[in-house]
A and B are shown apart, each in its own frame.
Chain A
Amino acid sequence: MKYALLIYENEAFYGPDETGPEMQEIVRRHMAFSQELGAKCIGGAGLKATTTATTVRMSGDASTVHDGPFAEVKEQLGGFYLIEAADLDEAIAIAKKVPMLQDGLIEVRPMLGG
C-alpha cells in the first residue's frame, strides 16, 4: 500500500531560509533517511516555510488568492514522504524514524489508488 507521511514541525526553529545550521542538519538527516528507505520511498519533498505560501481558495466557480498558508497553526507542514509499505503498521514504523529536530507530528495517510 502507498502512504503519504506528512511532517509537521514548528518551522520557526529552522530559521528564515535554507542556510541555518538546524536546516542543514535536518536536510542531512533526511538525505540519509531517504537512502535508508531505498525502494520504499516513492517520492517526497521538503517545503519552503509557510511565509512563502499562497493559498487559492475555491468556492463554487469563484476562486480567491490569499497570502499565507491554509491555517495558522503551531506546527506547519514542512515536508512529506511518499512510501510503499506492506500495511499500516509498517508505515507507522517508518513514520517513527522520520528525522525531526524537535517535537512534532507525522500524519500517515493512505494514498488513493495505492
Chain B
Amino acid sequence: MNGAALDQVFRAASGRIIGALAARFRDLDLAEDAFSESCVRLLQAWPADSAPGDAASWLYRVAERIALDSLRRQRTRERLVLNDSYLEPAGEKVMADDRYIIPDERLRLIFICCHPAVAADARAALTLRLVCGLTVAEIARAFLVTEPTLAQRLVRAKRKIANAGVPFELPRPELWPERMEAILSTLEVTYAKAHEDAAGSGPHASFAAEVLHLTRLLTELLPSSADTHALAALVRYAEARRPARVDDDGMMIPLSDQDPARWRRDLIDEAGGFFARASELGADSPRVLQAALQGAWCARRCLEDPAPWSQVLGLYDRLLVVRDDPVVRLNRAVAVAHVVGDNEALAEIASLDAIRLASFPPFQAVRAELCARSGRMAEARAAYEALLALNPSAAERLWLWRKLRAFPG
C-alpha cells in the first residue's frame, strides 16, 4: 500500500477508532493521541508498500494497547487501585470477524463533538478532526484561519468537554431533537467545506463518504425527523454532481451548465428516497425545500432537458416564506431572471444591502450574471472583478478569468 492509500486508510479509520476508544476510556485526548501514535507505529513497522491488508484492525488493536499502557502509567502515578477487567483489552472482540472488531461509536462521537457546551465555532472543526480524520492544516485552510488558531480551538473544545463533564454517552432520546440541529448544521458546514475545495480529487473522497454514511446513520436514529432525511438527501444530491463540477482543465462549471450525464444516478436515486421520506415528514422546513431544489435540478437527464427554472422559482418562493435571507433572495433572483425577466430580477436584488454584502461572493456572482444578461457590461465586469478579489477557489478563479476575457479591453 503506498503513501496516498495509507493516508486514506488513516482518515477512514480515524472516526471509528477514536470513537471506540473515546467511548471506552471517556477521554478524547487519550483516544486521539493513541490513534495518532498507532499511525506512526504502522508507518514504522511497515515501510511503504507492505502495510497489512486490514490496516484498520491493526491500528485499533495497537491504539487500544497504547491507551491502556498510558492509563496504567497514569493510574500508577496517581496510586489508584487498578480494576483489572477494565484495563484488559476486549478479549473476544480480537478473535471475532475483522469487520466487527471496531465498534461503531462514530454517532456517539458526533454527539460529543456537537454538544451545546462546545463552542459553536469549534464543533465542525472537532467533527472534521476526530470523525473524518482531516489534518489541522486542512481544516484551518477550509475555515480560513491559521493553523495555530484552529489548533487552539480544538484544544479548548476538548478541554471544555473534559472539564465540564460532557458525558461520553449517546444522550437520552428525549434530548435528540434539540441536539439534532447542532449536529445537522455541523454536518452541513462539514460537507460544504469538503465540497468547496474538492474538484473530485483524492483526499476528500473518503471524507465525503463519511458524511454520507453519518447522515444515513442519523436517519436510522431519528426515523421521524424531516430535517435529518432532508440533509441525507442534500449531501447525496451534491455528491452526485461532483464528477460534473469541474471540466478537464479544472474550471468550475455552474449547476445549470453541468452535463447531467456525468452525474451519479445511483446517488441521485438514494437522495430521492431520503427526500420522499423527508417531504412526508415536513414539506415546508427550509432543509426539505432546499432538498427539493436540488432534486429539481438532478431530475435532468441530459443537457437537452430544459432547465427547471419555473419549478425552482416556485420552490424559492416557498423557501423565502420560511427563510428570508440574502442567499435565498439572490438565488431566487436568478430564477426570476430566467422565468420573468432580467429587469425584474435586478429589481429583486436592488433592495438588498449592497454595502454590507459587497464582500459576500454570492452577491457579486449574482449581480455579475444579472448585469451581463441585461447588457450592463461595465457593472458586470466590476462584479466579476470584485469576485476575483474575494479569493475564490482555483476552479472558480479559472471560470472568472474566462468570463472576464469576454470583455473588451
Interface set of A (CB-CB < 8 Å, partner B): 1, 3, 85-91, 108, 110
Contact = CB atoms under 8 A, between A and B. Distances in A.
A87 B175 CA distance: 15
19 contacts: A3-B165, A85-B165, A86-B167, A87-B166, A87-B167, A88-B115, A88-B164, A88-B165, A88-B166, A88-B167, A89-B166, A89-B167, A89-B172, A89-B175, A90-B167, A91-B165, A110-B163, A110-B164, A110-B165
B143 to A, nearest CB: 26
B171 interface: yes
Contacts of A110: 163-165
Contacts of A88: 115, 117, 164-167
B60 to A, nearest CB: 26
Contacts of B171: 89
A110 B164 CA distance: 6
Contacts of A3: 165
Contacts, number: 25
Interface string B143-183: 00000000000000000000111110101100100000000
A88 B172 CA distance: 13
B122 to A, nearest CB: 16
A57 B175 CA distance: 42
B345 to A, nearest CB: 43
Question: Chain B interface mostly helix, strand, loop or mixed?
Answer: loop
A85 B115 CA distance: 17
Nearest to B167: A87
Interface in B161-213: 163-167, 169, 171-172, 175
Interface centre among B165, B172, B175 (most CB of A within 10 A): B165
A8 to B, nearest CB: 18
What are the 4 tightest A-B residue pairs by CB atom distance, in nearest-first order?
Answer: A87-B167, A88-B165, A1-B165, A87-B165
B97 to A, nearest CB: 33
Contacts of B166: 87-89
A55 to B, nearest CB: 28
Nearest to A91: B165
Interface centre among A1, A88, A90, A91 (most CB of B within 10 A): A88
Nearest to A2: B165
A107 to B, nearest CB: 12
Contacts of A89: 166-167, 171-172, 175
A86 to B, nearest CB: 7
A108 B165 CA distance: 11
Contacts of A90: 167
A89 B63 CA distance: 29
Nearest to B117: A88
A109 to B, nearest CB: 8
A90 to B, nearest CB: 8
Given A86-B167, A87-B169, 15 more contacts: A1-B165, A3-B165, A87-B165, A87-B166, A88-B115, A88-B117, A88-B164, A88-B166, A89-B166, A89-B171, A89-B172, A90-B167, A108-B164, A110-B163, A110-B164
Contacts of B115: 88
Contacts of B164: 88, 108, 110
